[in-house]
Structure 1
Amino acid sequence: MTTLLDLKSSVLRQVQRSQSLRGRREPTPTPSSPFTHCPDPLPRRISEESVEFFERVNAILQKQENMLRAAQAEGQKGACTVPPPQEHVDQAFIPDRIRRTELDLLYEEAVYTVVNRVGVPSPEHVISDEELFAYLMKVFDMGEEEHDIILQKVQEAKHPQRDINSFNASAITFSVSRHGLPGYSDPYCMLGILLGQSPRETEEKKERKFSFRKKKDKLEKRSSTKEVLPTACIQVTEVKAETLNPVWDEHFLLDHDDDVSVAEACKKLNEVSGLRGMGRYFKQIAKSVRSNGSASSGSEDNADDFLGCINIPLNEIPIVGYDTWFKLEPRSSTSKVQGECHLILKLFTSQRDTALSKKDSNVSIHKKLLSQIVEYEHAHVKREPYNWNGHVCPPAWTVLTHHAVQTDLSPLQQAIIRWQCYSSHHRTQRVCYSLLLRLLRTIDAEWDPVAVRGDLERQLSDSFRLYTEHCLCLMKNMRQVFPCTSAAAITRYELMLRGIGYMQNMQAFKTVCPLRNDLQLDITTAAKKGTVEWYESLIARYKPEDGTLEEQLKKLVQVVDAACADVQRSQNIYNTMFSSAVKVDFFSISYRQLEKQVADDVNIAMERVCGTLEQESSRLTQTMGETIFELFMSLKIFKGFQEFLPLKDAKMLALTGFHNWFKSSIHKWLQIVHDRSCDRIRKAVEMDKLEPLLQAKHSSSAVEVATCFSQVRQIWLQLAWPDSAGAFIFVTRLTDNFCSEAVCYSEMMTRKVERNQQGRDYKSFTVQLCVALNNTEHVRVFLAHLPRDLDWQGVERGMEESCGVEGKEQVYKALNGQLFNMDLDLQREAKRLITLLTDKMLPELRRYIQHISLSPDSINNDDAVSPLMKYLQDTMVILTENLVKENLT
């Protein structure tokens, strides 16, 4: 503006029209003059409501940011040790409890196992019978009298038959010197059990048994090759032709209790002395075995060479057996033949004399025993029982190990039993999912489809099925069972998903559950159903169909906000776990399901709103407008999550074009915003003392008006109207509102200055007038950025794309025309303010001019004009110090 030039022109006009100092001047607006753009003054209560109105709108605009902060706070809260919620499951998944009569039989089996222990115990095993019995009595809730009766029964029962399970697992490797055996050998192995010796014989054996040193005494022939040797206790492998590194992989069962055959074999062996006798003994055994007991003759030159042997005392075999390499003892100290043999030896019993073993399989009995112990052990876990890792106490481990060894359960059978017991127990008393995952990996490592047939295969299939259905049930209720507010629950959920993901890729699962080959489809179905049920519970909680239309919309806002929070959790937390563990896009499943249901409910509600507003007697109230705007913003936030969808899932969505449901309501809402803006501006002018702020030349009302405009601009930016034609209408409407509000503000400032001029000295009045001019200029400069702030170019491009060049020109002319007219109105108000200043200056100007005209000719002209010039100079100093640069140019 050219305020100073306008002031100069105004003063000159006033002086020229007043040659006699009594001329008439143009009338200026009085305090009672009407202002076309200024609304009527509003009550104080409404002014306060306008301030609160913009505070609420600002809170709505910050909703998305607040939701992000809330999600972060929720994650931080979950970092605390908050116990996870209970994992309630269907009663169909809960296994039946064992009856008391069966418990008594199972207790007899456990006592029988303790009494008839075999093998050398490990350091972690309990040796004391009393300690083991005391533990079992607690596990089975057994009294002293009942225990004594069962113990006596077991002690009187027949002892089980002891056997050795031998598996020549790998190979015998020979190392032969250059002058040793020519070429390759045709090796084979013989295995058998020798009866123990008396203490005296044992001492003698230390000197001569398996001693291959030649004695000076002449060796005596004790037996001939024609003699038939007892072969029932001797096992011989097949012959591996021409090799020094044979591999047999053969399995043998040695009966430790076959006293007759073993005694006979030992008798023959005791007759052997010296190397030649030992070699002849084994050669005769081999020939006897090969000929099924019939004698064969031949030259001893063609007989097999005796290379070495291994002596393994049975009373040194551990409970779990041997699985290691044994070094062969050479036939003599000078022998160059060396070698190692890999053997797997296991002790076990058969013909167990217990009531339960006569009617149930060993696998079934061991499973019942383990289930009873697991239930007892878990019940006594005090700290975080939901996180139990499945470890049992030493007495429990001792009993379970001995029973597994005695009943000859393979590692695979034990792995399957442990999985069945712990997964079944987990359905009633949750355990750590890492334990279940570890059990699955054990089954996978030991898996042999040939070894799992019949009942064991059916039971493993059932356990997989029940566990899978249990997990799918939990997935369906994941928002309640595994909430993000509990870090422990999230960790459990991740481990559960990893377990399910691992299970579906197991060869065992594919073998025993061939019809369940698409577990991902089941997981997807559970996720969909769980999302639908969660949304239905949300509707049941908020009841958006009850109450007045405004109350219904408010409840619907709560529903949409809850859905936004849910999809945010799905995207930030749950989806990562699903994608990595089971290769399922949980976010897409959940979002698409919620998006459809939210769209249906909001569309129905907005149809009712539009129908109500179309009635002549109906108008949009402020609170209703706020609610509609908040609902629109909530839907916009919800729709914004579409950017995280894969391209294939981002098509044909129900919320596409949802803004059209709100078009008429938003028009009415913007009118409410305009009314509240005018009220806020009026309030700001009332409170303004026309005192310049620190480091500024405008006052508080100018800052308040600019802040109000910024918030309204932010409303539009947050609306982000996607329709170009609709955007043009709204931008035109907003620009007109801004311009009219700016002119209204300028008029109110003029009125305020007029009222304040009464009783004020010239200088203070001039300063206030300068502040008023600066306020108007501050607002004008702010609105000069409207083309950028409201993205006029984007609107022009949109209209050009939809309506051609004519549409672009229409936007340009309409919007720029509004700014041009506003600028003219602001200049008009500035001139009115300048007129007020000139009116204030006229009395002084008349006085100084009259002084000049009445001064005598003897006074120098410069001296005569000096008072007037000083007055003008002082006025210019005030204007220069208080007007902004734009008002001085």
Structure 2
Amino acid sequence: LELCTVYAEGRRSKPKKEVGCGLDVFGVCWWEEKHVLGVRSDSRQGSCSFCMGFHIPPSPGAEDTPCFLQGPCCSQGTMDPKTPSQPGSSVLPSPILSISPFPCWPLPSQGCFSPLAPNSLLLSESRHVPLAPMPRVGCPPMAGGAGEQGWGACVPGCSGRSPSTVVSALLKWPRSDKGCGFLLRAANLGGGCSPAPLSASPEMDPAGQSPPGTLPGEESPEMDLSHRFSKAELALLYEEVLYTIRHRLGKPEQQHVRDSQELYSYVQKAFGMSTEEHGAIMQQVMELESPIYCLKATVKEAKGILGKDVSGLSDPYCLLGIEARSQEPAHPDHKKRMKAVVKDLIPEDQIHRTQVINQTLSPVWNETFILEFKDVETASFHLDMWDSDVVESMRHKLGELTDLHGLKRIFKDARKDKGQDDFLGNVVVRLKDLHCWNDQWYQLEPRTETYPERGHCHLQFLLTHKKRATTSSRTQPSYTVHRHLLQQLVSHEILQHQAGSTSWDGELSSHASTVLYLHATQKDLSDFHQDMAQWLAYSKLYQSLEFNSSCLLHQITSIEYRWVQERLRPEQKAELAESFQSLLTYGVSLIRRFRIIFPLSVPRSTERLQSLLRVLVQMCKTKAFRELCTPSPDLPQMISTALKSGTAEWFHMQKQHLKPMVKSIEENSKALSKLLLEVIEDLKQCQKIWNKLFSTNLKLNIFSIAYLELESLVAEHVQEQLHKVDSSMSRPTAESLFDLYRKLQELCQMKDSLPSRDGPLALSNFHQWFEEALPLWLQKAYTTALERAQRAIQMDQLKPYGYHKHSTSTVDLSTCYAQIVTTWKQLNWPDPEKAFMIMVNLLEDMCKISLMYCKLIKERAEALSLSEQNEGEAANKLCIVVNNIEQLRLLMLKLPSQLDWAQLEQRMRGVIDPQQIQNALHNQLDSTVACLDHEVRDVVQALATKLEKGIARHIQELSSSSDSEKPEDSIIPLMKFLESELQYLNEHLVQENFKSLLTLLWHHTLSVLSAAKGPQVPPVQHCQRLFCALKSLELCFHAEGCGLPLETLHSATFRALETHLALCSATSRKLIQKYFSNRIQQQLDTSSEKYGAVTIKALYRPSEQKLHVEVLNATNLIPLDSNGSSDPFVQLTLEPRHEFPEVVARTTQCKKNELHPLFDEAFDFLIPSEKCRQEGACLLLTVFDYDMLGANDLEGEAFLPLCHLPGLDTEEDEADMGRVPQTRLPLTHPKPTDEILQLLESRKRDKEAQAFVKLRKQRAKQSKETE
């Protein structure tokens, strides 16, 4: 294929700034699918490598002889593009041109493009006016051109100028199915000297012929900035405006230009007249006869005038006229003439009279008079107001008499002549003091000083012309001439606007406003006709030179406000109706192509479109439109239809633009993805930006219109391109299809934003088009993740990753899983059953990768450990491995939430059995997580095994340490070892793995300590060392809550070991106290009275430090004598004896043959209160059966704790024995064996312990309790 170098592909690509001319390329066009609009790569004679000549063949079949469109930085020969433009040169300022996509047309069969010269006529930015092939007139041949016949339009006499305005042009030719076209659009307006006269020569538009390139019956393309004005018409219009300025009337308004020479200079530029042309036409104007100057005076009303009639009212009327006087200001009769009445100053045939308004002091006339004058400097307007006096009878006058003033009037009338009118006042105005248009209240002046206050008169003046000598005024209606002048000046104002035409808001310069104001007043145009002329001119100019349409809105509002159909002649009605229809058609055509005409890349595009919509809506609502354009079109329906067709055109243009050069499924898929990207972006813009404009102004949902149209077109086009897809496709093809699937999915999901829809859409089942590619997509996701995981393990040095405790391979594996999760979410397969199978496959793949990772990462750790031969580094590697596996386990546990299994199960409800979901998903995941847990435990066990030997060694050393060494000192080596090792592991293991390791070490430590205490009763010092070690290890492993929780530490083994070591390490007295504490607790826990019970009352008196005890009775004693009864008595002792060594035991009297004895005896014990609060302090009540021959038999024991005695916690004897409640204590028997007694018995050298054990054994022998 013969292709030029492609500069940019696609409208969305960012334009590249070029040195020299600054030409930007935005689009790629095609010539019969072979030639690309692009960049010329060389720099030959007559071309420019910076401004990008365009490879466009002159005709089909002549591709080998291309011609190039020369860029704006080139002159009429070879020129260095880097040379800056100089003032006065023929080089356009840069940047000038840019290229944007536009519907294509074929090239003509004959001819070629000539270079656009610096003085070529182009059109202003974003305006598309066709340019037909025509002869180039008045310009020298251009370098690289094709002779005199070419595509362009040049202006005679413009050579050598640097135009101040550059306008854009659309190269146009007849349409056909194939071909190419492009659009040049001004991107910058340069400065410079004035352009040549903007007119078209007769050779460019021969009468009765259509220019080349124009279809028969089609209007000739206009490139003349004067908008259809021929040179002769411009000359006549120029004559009209010069005549208007020369015969200017009235004082200038404050905002208008006073100097006429400035106005002459302005209109010369606006009409593009040379000095010679201006002088010639000016000479003609000076030779023309002056117009007849007229004052259009309107007498509107008066107020506060004098009442001259008997009734107190008047019958006023006015006399008015123009007085022409000499220019001598000091005329002796000047004051008299100002006071003189009209009929004395002005000839009778020049005097005008209003109607008489009877019986009023506030008359309203609203009468208009045309008063001619010759010299504005010497002419004055005079108005007299009179009271009409009609001859009436005396009887009639007396009947109207109401007050004394009326009577005076009767006497005054009697003295004057019959029928003589009364003077009410006058107004005198010099014409040179008037503006072109005046409307104000004037004070009525008196002839004498009798009544100085005579009221006011409301007058309106307009200085106009009659019988103007210009050709236009003689041959054309005033309204038409004014419209042409307005059109010419407004077009000049738009083109002179520095910021570009689109930002022009309709405000005219003071020069243009002055000229138009003078012309309208001199021609006496009504406000309505002025508004109509402005509307016709502006609406026509808007179709060629786009500007802010808010001024159109103002004009159409003015027409609606002043609309009276009867004011217009038939031809004016037809002209107004045609302007409405033309603007409507043009506006709808712009809206149809709004994506190109109002691109969002251009500032204020949305405002421009909104303004256009408002103008069209307001225009269609006006009375004028509804009355003149019948039947009235349905604007929303028209725009809706236009939007549909415009959307289809835009889609086909994008489709053609993105058509792949190579025909294959892969390239087609890529091209379709790019096309869908454009479609989605366009729909987003419609939804977020454009929809608000159309909805507000027209109640149209442009998103709905565009979506339904594009969705149907996309579905048809994609199905057409994918009909050859099968399972034998390559991987690159499958990947491109996946990207296409995602774009279609995004497009399909946008249907949720539609307000309402009927029936299924064309893309409802688009996923079925990709079922053949689905297995390849899943396989691609698996292989990509697997390969990445394997590479990550191979590159992993098993070192912490940043601040984390795992290595880099886990991060990569997490990314792999995230990509698989993303793939699942991107697929979002609509078919639930198929979606479930996809999930099962993805989960199987991730489980395989997880198990593979565990195997390979351990192998990697072994390989690195062997190469380093360092035990510490090997342990570090194991820590990293277990952390990695733990991290992987956490990743697997997150899969159900990340993959949203809950939603999938809900979709599967009624399709697949829940048990099948459980087996296929949850069981498989649980199995994999269990394997990972096992792997973690294995590695943690390996780490724990290395520490267990050290812990066992230190505990063994602790057991064998000297008895003279303090327990706190003997455990220091063990604690230092653990602190060092655990700190290292805590730094290298994640928290979960570290706690698992601590748990293993804790259980092992407890087993070592249990073994160290031995099977027999160890020495006290040995047990003290072991107990101190146990408590220290507890604190170490708990670590103030940072290690193992207390629930884990305080296991059954720990509690048993703690209790045993605490007892073994205690002194004999502590053990005795512990024994009585246990018996007190046993007493509190006993509720059975199988051995009977004893009832007492006990009270402690703090003031006397006495314990007062009353033994009341005993009940339900067991018979111990042969006669079936007993001889009971109670022995009272304070225990333990070493706390109360001076207190002797007390006994009650013996009750013969009683099983329910009543004792009712009191006892006092002198003991300090602090002794009562000691551990194990109690009152032991022992009930015996008295035996005269042998030892007394034991009935039972009861223990009363002293720490809860009434009165113990008070400072004074507040408690009364009568108020102390009785305490019933069940009798208990000691157990035959007791651990504390066994420990005490083992201490053979402790006499106190042996005595206590002997006493308790005697009681135990009499006990009826068994093991």
* TM-score using structure 2 length: 0.52
- Give the drift of 1:567: 1.6
**Aligned pair 1:166/2:270, yes or no?**
no
CA distance in 1, matches of 2:944, 2:746: 56
> What amino acid does structure 2 have at the position aligned with 1:317?
L
Contact between 2:799 and 2:880, CA under 8 Å: does it hold in 1?
yes
> What amino acid does structure 2 have at the position aligned with 1:313?
R
Q: 1:137-174 CA distances to partner (integer Å, 9 max, x unpaired)?
A: 555555677666655654554443333333445x4333
Which among 877, 884, 891 is matched to residue 768 of structure 1?
877
CA distance in 1, matches of 2:742, 2:353: 84
**For residue 636 of structure 1, what is the aligned residue in structure 2?**
745
> What amino acid does structure 2 have at the position aligned with 1:318?
H
The answer for unaligned runs of 5 or more in structure 2 is 1-11, 16-94, 99-123, 132-218, 392-412, 954-972, 1000-1267
Secondary structure, aligned partner of 1:312: strand
**Aligned pair 1:311/2:428, yes or no?**
yes
Contact between 2:550 and 2:611, CA under 8 Å: does it hold in 1?
yes
CA distance in 1, matches of 2:333, 2:466: 31
Secondary structure, aligned partner of 2:457: strand
Contact between 1:125 and 1:397, CA under 8 Å: does it hold in 2?
yes
Question: Quick check: 876-885 or 698-707, which moved more?
Answer: 876-885
Q: 1:447-494 CA distances to partner (integer Å, 9 max, x unpaired)?
A: 443323322222222223223323223223322232211214444334
**Aligned pair 1:104/2:235, yes or no?**
yes
- Inter-CA distance 131–758: structure 2 relative to 1 (3 Å threshold): closer
Which among 318, 321, 328 is matched to residue 190 of structure 1?
318
Which among 656, 664, 678 is matched to residue 562 of structure 1?
678
CA distance in 1, matches of 2:513, 2:976: 111
Alpha-carbon RMSD: 4.6
- Inter-CA distance 109–188: structure 2 relative to 1 (3 Å threshold): same
**For residue 593 of structure 1, what is the aligned residue in structure 2?**
709
**For residue 488 of structure 2, what is the aligned residue in structure 1?**
372
> What amino acid does structure 2 have at the position aligned with 1:195?
E
CA distance in 1, matches of 2:356, 2:700: 53
CA distance in 1, matches of 2:864, 2:285: 114
Where do residues 569-718 of structure 1 align in structure 2 (5 Å cutoff)? Answer: 569-609=685-725, 612-613=726-727, 618-621=728-731, 623-645=732-754, 647-649=755-757, 652-693=760-801, 695-718=803-826
- Inter-CA distance 362–672: structure 2 relative to 1 (3 Å threshold): same
Q: 1:288-333 CA distances to partner (integer Å, 9 max, x unpaired)?
A: xxxxxxxxx99978987654333333333312x2122333335764
CA distance in 2, matches of 1:151, 1:378: 26
- Inter-CA distance 381–817: structure 2 relative to 1 (3 Å threshold): closer
**For residue 788 of structure 1, what is the aligned residue in structure 2?**
897
Secondary structure, aligned partner of 1:356: helix
CA distance in 1, matches of 2:988, 2:337: 123
Which among 229, 233, 236 is matched to residue 354 of structure 2?
236
Identity rate of aligned residues, in percent? 29
Q: 1:534-574 CA distances to partner (integer Å, 9 max, x unpaired)?
A: 11111111115952111111111111111111122222333
Q: 1:323-370 CA distances to partner (integer Å, 9 max, x unpaired)?
A: 223333357645497533333221222222333323211111222233
- Give the drift of 1:130: 5.2
CA distance in 1, matches of 2:363, 2:772: 90
> What amino acid does structure 2 have at the position aligned with 1:118?
L
CA distance in 1, matches of 2:561, 2:248: 29
- Inter-CA distance 140–690: structure 2 relative to 1 (3 Å threshold): closer
CA distance in 1, matches of 2:888, 2:303: 99
Secondary structure, aligned partner of 1:166: strand
Q: 1:779-829 CA distances to partner (integer Å, 9 max, x unpaired)?
A: 1222112222211111122222x43xx634432342111112223443565
- Inter-CA distance 754–391: structure 2 relative to 1 (3 Å threshold): closer
**For residue 5 of structure 1, what is the aligned residue in structure 2?**
none
Q: 1:228-273 CA distances to partner (integer Å, 9 max, x unpaired)?
A: x95774232463x66554544x3423242699xxx9x99xx9xxxx
**For residue 21 of structure 1, what is the aligned residue in structure 2?**
none
> What amino acid does structure 2 have at the position aligned with 1:624?
T
**Aligned pair 1:720/2:831, yes or no?**
no
**For residue 438 of structure 2, what is the aligned residue in structure 1?**
322
- Inter-CA distance 595–186: structure 2 relative to 1 (3 Å threshold): farther
- Inter-CA distance 492–831: structure 2 relative to 1 (3 Å threshold): closer
- Inter-CA distance 181–583: structure 2 relative to 1 (3 Å threshold): farther
CA distance in 1, matches of 2:278, 2:935: 108
CA distance in 2, matches of 1:258, 1:835: 124
**For residue 63 of structure 1, what is the aligned residue in structure 2?**
none
Contact between 1:732 and 1:814, CA under 8 Å: does it hold in 2?
yes
> What amino acid does structure 2 have at the position aligned with 1:119?
G
> What amino acid does structure 1 have at the position aligned with 2:921?
L
Of Structure 1 and Structure 2, the greater helix share is in 1
**For residue 567 of structure 2, what is the aligned residue in structure 1?**
451
**Aligned pair 1:798/2:904, yes or no?**
no
- Give the drift of 1:591: 2.5
Contact between 2:321 and 2:351, CA under 8 Å: does it hold in 1?
yes
**For residue 858 of structure 1, what is the aligned residue in structure 2?**
none
**For residue 510 of structure 1, what is the aligned residue in structure 2?**
626
Secondary structure, aligned partner of 1:347: strand
CA distance in 2, matches of 1:714, 1:702: 18
> What amino acid does structure 1 have at the position aligned with 2:335?
E
Secondary structure, aligned partner of 2:297: strand
* Greater RCO structure (CA 8 Å; 6+ sep): 1
CA distance in 1, matches of 2:976, 2:458: 122
- Inter-CA distance 168–457: structure 2 relative to 1 (3 Å threshold): farther
Contact between 2:125 and 2:501, CA under 8 Å: does it hold in 1?
no
CA distance in 1, matches of 2:574, 2:802: 86
**For residue 499 of structure 1, what is the aligned residue in structure 2?**
615
- Give the drift of 1:393: 5.3
CA distance in 1, matches of 2:354, 2:464: 21
Larger radius of gyration: 2
Contact between 1:475 and 1:527, CA under 8 Å: does it hold in 2?
yes
Contact between 2:502 and 2:547, CA under 8 Å: does it hold in 1?
yes
**For residue 39 of structure 2, what is the aligned residue in structure 1?**
none
> What amino acid does structure 1 have at the position aligned with 2:321?
I
**Aligned pair 1:778/2:887, yes or no?**
yes
CA distance in 2, matches of 1:878, 1:252: 111
CA distance in 1, matches of 2:730, 2:539: 60
CA distance in 1, matches of 2:323, 2:294: 13
Of Structure 1 and Structure 2, the greater strand share is in 2
Contact between 1:472 and 1:522, CA under 8 Å: does it hold in 2?
yes
Aligned length, in residue pairs: 738
- Inter-CA distance 747–506: structure 2 relative to 1 (3 Å threshold): same
Which among 896, 913, 918 is matched to residue 807 of structure 1?
913
> What amino acid does structure 2 have at the position aligned with 1:713?
V
Contact between 2:985 and 2:994, CA under 8 Å: does it hold in 1?
no
Secondary structure, aligned partner of 2:844: helix
**For residue 127 of structure 2, what is the aligned residue in structure 1?**
87
CA distance in 2, matches of 1:458, 1:487: 37
Secondary structure, aligned partner of 2:435: coil
Secondary structure, aligned partner of 1:648: coil
**For residue 646 of structure 2, what is the aligned residue in structure 1?**
530
Contact between 1:697 and 1:771, CA under 8 Å: does it hold in 2?
yes
Secondary structure, aligned partner of 1:117: coil
The answer for unaligned runs of 5 or more in structure 1 is 1-66, 71-79, 214-221, 224-228, 270-274, 286-296, 849-866
